[in-house]
A and B are shown apart, each in its own frame.
Chain A
C-alpha cells in the first residue's frame, strides 16, 4: 500500500503541470506513468502554443478576448464559452511562467518569445521553439519536477515510472485512490489518495492512421468511464490535414503557418477552389483543410488516390533549417524526401480527441476528489474542433487548474469518508481480472482484433461519416468486443508482460471506440470535425448540446447537456 495526498496519472504536460502546482501548494504528490515522463506523447507536439502576447509585428492588437473568440468560432460554437475564455485569459501567464522556468522558446529580433501564424487565428499568436515546442515544454516541466524531487524543501513529489493504472476506486461519489501495476514485476498495489488527477492523453491508437504515439491507447479514459464517470463529446475526433503518407507522422501546422503550400496532382493550390477555405487558404482551421484535401483526393486530383503534396521548397533551405528542422529530418528518415528540394506526400490522419472525461471549468469530474486535465479531459474548450496551438495551452492552463483544485480540496480536509476495505476489494477484483486474462485459452489474436478495429474506425468513422456506415461500424465494434472474450495469450507470466498490458488496453480501446461511434451515429448534424454526408448542415436547434456517454450495467447510454453560449452568439463559420 502506498499513500500520497494527491496522485496524478500520466507524466505528460498536463500531468506534470498539475504535479508542480500541487508541489507549490506543499501537497505530497505521486505521479504514476506507464512510461518515463519524457517519453510521453506531449514530446511530439511540434508547432506551438497559443497566447496573445502580441510579440509579433502583426500581433499588437491581439488580446485574450480575441483569442477566446477564435477558439469558440473554431469549435463551431460547441465549446463552453466561459471555459474557453478562462483558457485564453491564463495563457500569457502560463507561457511566461514556462519561460521563467527556462523553456528555450525561439526569439524575435528584439529578444522576446517568437510567435507564428496558425490556422483559424486572427493574429500570429502561436509561441514556438522551432518545430519542437512540445519537446522543450515537456523537458522544462520535467526539470522543475526533478528540481523538487531531488532538492526539495517542500513535501514529497515522487514519480512512479512504468506503473500501469488498472482502476480508479470511487465509493458513494468519493474518490479513494487507484490500483496500479508495477510493469516490471507485474505486482498490483493500492495507491490511496485524497485526490486523483487523470492526465492520460488521447485515444488516437483506436485509429490506424494516426499521428499519435503507440502509447496513446485511450485506456486512461476507459478507467474512469468504467467507474461511472461520463465521457463527453467523444464523437469529435480531429484529423490533422498534414501527416506523412505511409507512417502518418505529424507534419506540423507550422509548415503552413510559415508559408507552405498544399498542392494537388496538377500542382494547383486547391484550397482556393473551396468556399470555406478560399480566403484563409493554408491557414484555415484543421477540420476544413482536412475535408478539402479528402474531397480533392476523392475527385481524383490526388496521388495514388491517397495523398497530396505539401510544398515547402519556396521557403528556402535557411528558413526550413531555422524554423522546421525536425520536419526535414522526419521527411528524410520516414519518407525519403528532402523538403528543401522535394514535395512532401501528406494525407489527413487522426490527431486529437476533442472529447474526454467530463469535467467542469475547475477540472472537477462528477466524483469528489477526482479530476482530469489535458487531452483525456473535456471541459470543453475545443468543442467540435480544436485550433492548432490550443492543446499545449490546455495542458498547461488546465493542468495547473486541476492541480490547484485538487490542492484546495486536500488542504480543506479531503474526503469526508475513507474506506480502506473497498481499496482491498478493488485490488482483489483487479487481481482476479488479470488472472482471468492470463488464463484465457481462446483462439483470437490481440493484434488481429486491434487491426480490425483500426480499419473500421479509419474507413467508417473518419472525416466523412454517414448513418449506414456508422451503424455498420457499431456492429463491428460490438462483434469485436464479443470476440475479445475468446483471446489467445502466449505469455502467462506476470513480470514485464507487455502482451498483458496490450490486452487490457485493447479492452479499453473497444469501449472508447463504441462510445465514439454511438455519439457520431446519434448526432445527426455536421459540426466541426464531424461531417455527416447525410446531414450536411449544422443544426443548432437540436444539436447545440454536449453528448454524455455513461457506462451502465445495461450497456452504454447517451445523454445530453447544455452548452454555455453566454458570451458569443453562434453564427455560421467562415474563413
Chain B
C-alpha cells in the first residue's frame, strides 16, 4: 500500500514546552484528502492531535492550514495532488496557537465585527422584497462567496507586520456591502476603511488572491475600495492643459 509521511506542527499552549514537528506514516489511496489523513492519525495513531474540521466539502472554512508551502483547505486538497512523499502541515499564521493546528481565531472575528458586517439600507423596508436588478446582483458575485476561512489573512505579509490591519478577508466583506445596491452606508464604510489600518495598508502583494480556495479576488476588492475613496476625496478626474 502507498504511504505518505505527515510532518505536523505540534504545540500545546497549556504546557511549557517548545513547539516541534512530529512525523506520522500513514497509508493513502487515490481520492484521499489531507483532512482524511489527519482524521486517520487522530483515530489510529495519536488521539491528542488537534485540528478543526466540519463540512469536508470545501464550503464551511474550518480547515484552512498551511500545507506544503501554501494555505489551503485540508478537506479539498487531494494528497496525490501535492506530488510529494511528505505532507508538511502548519497552523494558520499570525494567530495564537491553542493546540497543534487549532488556532485562536477570536482576533479575526473581532475584526469582522468592527466593519459593521450587515446591510444598512437606511430606510424602512418595503412590504415585499427590495428590487435588485440582475445586473446589480451580478456585482455581488465573487463577494458573497467568501467562506471566511482566513487563508488569505494568514498568507498576507502585512497582516504579520501590522496585527491591527483589517486584512483581505475583512476588506472583501466591506466591499460586498459597498457594492450592494440595497446598502446605503457606502460613504460611512469607505470612511471607516480609509484610515491607518484600512485599505491603504495593503501593499498589493496578491498573496491573498493566490491562496483563496474559492478563487476570489480580495486584492481586487481592496483596489476597488481605494479607487472609490480617492474618487470621493478628489472628485471625478479632470483634465488640465
A residues contacting B by CB (< 8 A) are 35-36, 38-41, 43-44, 95-96, 99-102, 104-113, 129, 132, 135-136, 139, 143-144, 146-147, 149-151, 161, 184-185, 213-215, 246-247, 249-250, 326, 329-330, 333-334, 445-447, 489-491, 493, 495-499
Given contacts A39-B62, A184-B102, 15 further A-B contacts (CB under 8 A): A101-B119, A107-B134, A107-B137, A112-B129, A135-B144, A135-B147, A147-B116, A214-B55, A215-B54, A334-B76, A445-B44, A447-B43, A491-B46, A495-B14, A495-B99
Tell whether, in the assembled complex, residue A496 and residue B144 are in contact, meaning their CB atoms are under 8 Å apart: no
Closest chain-B Cβ to A522's Cβ sits at a distance in Å of 34
Tell whether, in the assembled complex, residue A44 and residue B12 are in contact, meaning their CB atoms are under 8 Å apart: no
Tell whether, in the assembled complex, residue B57 and residue A249 are in contact, meaning their CB atoms are under 8 Å apart: yes
Q: Which residues of A contact B48 (CB under 8 A)?
A: 490-491, 493, 497, 499
Among all A-B residue pairs, the 10 with the closest Cβ atoms: A102-B119, A499-B47, A447-B43, A490-B47, A111-B131, A491-B47, A143-B118, A491-B48, A100-B125, A99-B129
Q: Is the interface on chain B under 10, 10 to 19, 20 to 34, or 35 or more residues?
A: 35 or more
Q: Which residues of B contact A102 (CB under 8 A)?
A: 118-119, 177, 180, 182-183
Q: How far does the alpha carbon of A124 sit from the alpha carbon of B141 in the complex, in Å?
A: 24
Tell whether, in the assembled complex, residue A446 and residue B43 are in contact, meaning their CB atoms are under 8 Å apart: yes
Tell whether, in the assembled complex, residue B12 and residue A135 are in contact, meaning their CB atoms are under 8 Å apart: no
Q: Which residues of A contact B57 (CB under 8 A)?
A: 44, 213, 247, 249-250, 330, 334
Closest chain-B Cβ to A317's Cβ sits at a distance in Å of 16
Which residue from A41, A112, A143, A214 sits with its C-beta under 8 Å from B131? Answer: A112
Tell whether, in the assembled complex, residue B31 and residue A246 are in contact, meaning their CB atoms are under 8 Å apart: yes
Contact A326 B43, CB 8 Å, known A136-B144, A143-B117, A184-B98: no
Query: Which B residues from 131 to 183 make CB contacts under 8 A with A?
Result: 131-134, 136-137, 140, 144-145, 147-148, 177, 180, 182-183
Tell whether, in the assembled complex, residue B113 and residue A110 are in contact, meaning their CB atoms are under 8 Å apart: no
A-B contact pairs, 30 of them (CB 8 A): A35-B54, A36-B105, A36-B109, A39-B55, A44-B55, A96-B128, A112-B129, A113-B129, A135-B147, A143-B117, A146-B113, A146-B118, A147-B116, A147-B117, A150-B113, A150-B114, A184-B98, A184-B99, A213-B55, A214-B53, A246-B31, A249-B57, A326-B59, A333-B76, A445-B43, A447-B43, A447-B44, A491-B47, A498-B49, A499-B42
Contact A490 B54, CB 8 Å, known A107-B134, A213-B60, A333-B76: no
B112 at interface by CB-CB < 8 Å: yes
Tell whether, in the assembled complex, residue A38 and residue B129 are in contact, meaning their CB atoms are under 8 Å apart: no
The binding surface of chain B is classed by DSSP as loop
B189 at interface by CB-CB < 8 Å: no
Q: Which residues of A contact B128 (CB under 8 A)?
A: 96, 112
Contact A213 B47, CB 8 Å, known A107-B132, A246-B31: no
Closest chain-B Cβ to A209's Cβ sits at a distance in Å of 13
Q: How far does the alpha carbon of A74 sit from the alpha carbon of B86 in the complex, in Å?
A: 51
Q: How far does the alpha carbon of A109 sit from the alpha carbon of B58 in the complex, in Å?
A: 31
- Nearest residue, chain B, Cβ from A55: B129
Which residue from A38, A136, A184, A498 sits with its C-beta under 8 Å from B61? Answer: A38
Tell whether, in the assembled complex, residue B99 and residue A496 are in contact, meaning their CB atoms are under 8 Å apart: yes
Q: How far does the alpha carbon of A101 sit from the alpha carbon of B132 in the complex, in Å?
A: 14
Q: How far does the alpha carbon of A489 sit from the alpha carbon of B46 in the complex, in Å?
A: 10
Closest chain-A Cβ to B141's Cβ sits at a distance in Å of 8
Query: Which B residues from 5 to 29 make CB contacts under 8 A with A?
Result: 12, 14
